[in-house]
Amino acid sequence: MSNSHSSTPPQTDLPKSRLTNEMGELKTSRLDRRLSMAKTSLNLGRRWAGNSFSGLFLSKEERASRNQEFMKEQAAYLADELGKLKGSVVKIGQMLALYGEHFLHPEITAALHRLNDSTASLSWPVVESALRQQLGNRLDELEVSPTPIGTASLAQVHRATIKSTGQQVVLKVQYPGVADAIDSDLSLFKHLLKVTNAVPQTKALDEWFNEISDLLKVEVDYVAEAQTTMRFYERLKDDERYGVPKVYEAYSTPRLLCLSFEEGVPVTNANLKALPQRRRDALGKAAIDIMLNEIFVWGEMQTDPNFGNYLIRSEPADKPDGKDKLILLDFGAMRQFDDDLLKIARNLMLAGFNYDKQQMMDAMQGYEFFDIMSLEVKANMAEVFLLATEPFRNPSLPQNKSSDLIDEHGYYHWANSNLHKRLMEGSASAMQSREFSLPPKEFMFISRKFIGAYTFLTVLNARTNTYDTLSKFVPINM
């Protein structure tokens, strides 16, 4: 594949900073990890007991303030200790940070978000040994850089060259023992949450942990990820707006993934803001098209909205007609959706297009989560869905004609909208009702996907046309 940048960004969702921090070994044995978690659990328990005792002598207001501050300290300690373990424990924390605002204390969620900054890499001798174990003599056919270009909880990425062809590739190396520790790590993590009093131990939480277990087992299955990557490669190979890495099966195994190296810059790169508006609009439309295709056409979605899963390969900003590509990197966290759910999603989008609250409430049926709602809760949720579909409203509606978010050409101005924040605030408000139950996992995944895409478009300062974008996926009449 052609290269258009001299930068060498990570080839996955793995952060790139502070890669000089190295770990000589990874605690992968169940005994090592249990001992570490037991120590953390004991310390958390002692801290909680001490706080409860000292709070006996405070007023109600002082105790509430003290407990909030203490929860922040507990959460920070928990995140620090989890970050030392890597592996699925850290990934579990990251997933809970992403989806846990419905059942975790805000202090816990905020602290778990810090796990995304955990970037200590595994030392090269350990990685080289893992590569040799996976490839055997085939490793001699590659020249591998000992310095990783990205690290994360489950794997790290090294750049390499296929000696016989000169092809530049990347090797996504899974940390040894990570896959085998998933079930025990989940059990230990649930125990930690119980010790911190961070969340009530309910059936809904158990179901969420089962879902996280399934997702983790998919993420560590590199055969499945390779197949998904190849599937998306075939879907998008003729669309010049996108780039998908090529899989090199000869150097891939269930614990190692070899992909073509893709040049590009992160979405947050300051130079992208200098691109002409038309080109930023095209990138924004490409991002929305992928999301809508995943939900409405392909029935499978990358559930991790992390910016690190994308790069942008662009031509110089002074070329008004320059071609830019959205590079899709990571296909590990995939989720399939059934036809019944997709039908409901289409009806919700159509109600949003018409900005019709009653139509939105009528569309909220056929799924247990909606069917057991009272009218009051359903009305509140309808307001949230109307807000979520704001960019897709019919531009000819009277309220849109007077809006500063949609211009006379029907283009939604993302940078002016602050929609991703308004949507998160609106969702939190709607969920305050005592009748509100934990949303089904599928809707939480889709909502996070939308919020991630909306944030992407806001950072890009893109403008997108409602009708042009939505009409290919939902039957609408203007």
Instruction: Clarify whether residues 77 and 213 are in a common domain.
Output: yes
Of residues 102 and 26, more confidence is placed in 102
Residue 143 in domain: no
pLDDT digits (tens, 9 = 90+) for 51-84: 444 544 445 555 555 556 656 776 777 777 676 6
Separation of alpha carbons 389 and 373, rounded Å? 21
Given pLDDT bands bounded at 50, 70 and 90, which one contains residue 85?
A: low
Separation of alpha carbons 71 and 67, rounded Å? 6
Residue 389 in domain: yes
Domain count, the chain: 2
Of residues 330 and 46, more confidence is placed in 330
**Cα 206-220-12 angle, rounded to 5 deg:** 115
Residue 82 in domain: yes
- Judged by DSSP in three states, 159 sits in strand
| CB neighbour class for 399 (10 Å; exposed up to 12, middle 13-18, buried from 19) | exposed
Separation of alpha carbons 145 and 132, rounded Å? 14
Q: Is the dihedral of CA 339, 307, 149, 232 positive or negative?
A: positive
Residue 306 in domain: no
pLDDT digits (tens, 9 = 90+) for 231-289: 999 999 999 999 999 999 999 999 999 999 999 999 989 889 899 999 999 999 999 99
Select from 132, 43, 133, 152 the least CA-distant residue to 89: 152
Q: Which of 89-103, 169-183, 281-295, 350-364 has the lowest mean pLDDT?
A: 89-103
Residue 123 in domain: no
Q: Edge-to-edge, what's the strand order for the sheet holding 168-174?
A: 142-151, 155-162, 168-174, 256-260
User: Is the model's pLDDT at 3 over the cut of 50?
Assistant: no
Residue 46 in domain: yes
Instruction: Give, in order, the Cα–Cα distances in Å from 244 to each of 209, 221, 326, 453, 460.
Output: 31, 19, 9, 18, 20
* pLDDT given at position 20: 38
Could you identify the residue written with the tokens 């531009």? 395
Looking at the DSSP bridge assignments, the partners of residue 328 are: 310
Of residues 36 and 82, more confidence is placed in 82
**Helices 277-293 and 441-460, interaxial angle, to 10°?**
170
Separation of alpha carbons 65 and 206, rounded Å? 30
Residue 230 in domain: no
**How many beta carbons lie within 10 A of that of residue 270, not counting itself?**
7
- What is 254-316 written as a DSSP string? TTEEEEE----B-TT-GGGGGS-HHHHHHHHHHHHHHHHHIIIII-EEE----GGGEEEE---
Choose one of 219, 248, 269: the last residue of a domain.
219
DSSP 11: S
Separation of alpha carbons 268 and 459, rounded Å? 7
Residue 238 in domain: no
Separation of alpha carbons 330 and 219, rounded Å? 10
Looking at the DSSP bridge assignments, the partners of residue 334 are: 302
Q: Would you give the end-to-end CA distance of the chain in angstroms? A: 42
pLDDT digits (tens, 9 = 90+) for 425-463: 777 666 655 455 556 677 777 877 888 888 899 999 999
Choose one of 199, 219, 239: the last residue of a domain.
219
| CB neighbour class for 143 (10 Å; exposed up to 12, middle 13-18, buried from 19) | exposed
- The mean pLDDT of the chain is 80
Select from 198, 161, 170, 235 the least CA-distant residue to 44: 198
Choose one of 171, 197, 219: the last residue of a domain.
219
Q: Which domain holds residue 55?
A: 22-118+179-219
- What is 128-158 written as a DSSP string? HHHHHHHHGGGGGGEEEEEEEEEE-SSEEEE
Separation of alpha carbons 426 and 382, rounded Å? 11
Separation of alpha carbons 389 and 161, rounded Å? 45
Q: What is the mean pLDDT of residues 367-388?
A: 86
- The tokens describing 154, both together, are 């489950």
Could you identify the residue written with the tokens 């996280």? 212
Instruction: Give, in order, the Cα–Cα distances in Å from 23 to each of 29, 121, 353, 365, 420.
Output: 16, 6, 51, 51, 37
- Do residues 390 and 419 lie in contact, with contact meaning Cβ atoms separated by under 8 Å? yes
* pLDDT given at position 8: 38
Separation of alpha carbons 288 and 185, rounded Å? 35
Select from 294, 316, 318, 317 the least CA-distant residue to 305: 294
